[in-house]
């Protein structure tokens, strides 16, 4: 599972059973507390073996306030979830997702979940030897 955390909602994506393709799921609305409350049940329901939290590094590769918040969220998830939690650079995933999303996607959370799917697909491709 991949998460694209934000202040108001978090994009969610899961892989298929073979770990080949990422699929967006409905975004989780609310801040970190709502995410921490909802995620354990979602991890169990989806049969998730690992959670990847998108790390919004700056274009230069440095940390920002959002980066620090994502790292703190990942640490809190490690304490609450029975599966490994890692972070992965998610620079420009939202920009890439926006190229293909309708305007309403920004409001309903589907853009956030599309960005999470791009993040997860990059991870799956890298594990298969086909990407960064």
- In tens, the pLDDT along 92-125 reads 787 778 777 666 656 678 889 999 999 999 999 9
Q: Name the residue among 7, 5, 25, 26 with its Cα closest to residue 15.
A: 25
Which pTM was predicted? 0.89
In angstroms, how far is the first alpha carbon of the chain from the final one?
18
Query: The tokens of 78 are what?
Result: 């490690």
Confidence of residue 26 (pLDDT cuts 50, 70, 90): very high
Query: The tokens of 69 are what?
Result: 């918040």
More confident residue, 60 or 13: 13
Confidence of residue 130 (pLDDT cuts 50, 70, 90): low
Greatest alpha-carbon pair distance for the chain in Å reads 37
Rounded distance, CA 67 to CA 72, Å? 9
pLDDT score, position 105: 56
Rounded distance, CA 66 to CA 129, Å? 30
Structural domains in the chain plus CATH codes: 2-127 (3.30.420.140)
Percent of the chain scoring above 90 in pLDDT: 61
């Amino acid at each position: 599972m991949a998460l694209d955390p934000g202040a108001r909602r978090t994009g969610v994506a899961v892989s298929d059973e073979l770990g080949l393709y990422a699929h967006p799921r409905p975004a989780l609305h609310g801040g970190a507390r709502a995410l921490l409350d909802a995620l354990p049940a979602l991890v169990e329901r989806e049969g998730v073996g690992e959670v990847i939290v998108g790390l919004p590094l700056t274009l230069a590769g440095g940390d920002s306030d959002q980066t620090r918040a994502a790292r703190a969220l990942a640490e809190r998830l490690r304490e609450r979830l029975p599966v490994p939690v890692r972070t992965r650079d998610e620079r420009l995933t939202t920009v890439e997702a926006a190229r293909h999303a309708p305007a309403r996607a920004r409001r309903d959370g589907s853009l956030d979940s599309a960005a999470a799917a791009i993040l997860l697909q990059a991870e799956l491709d890298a594990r298969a030897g086909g990407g960064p």
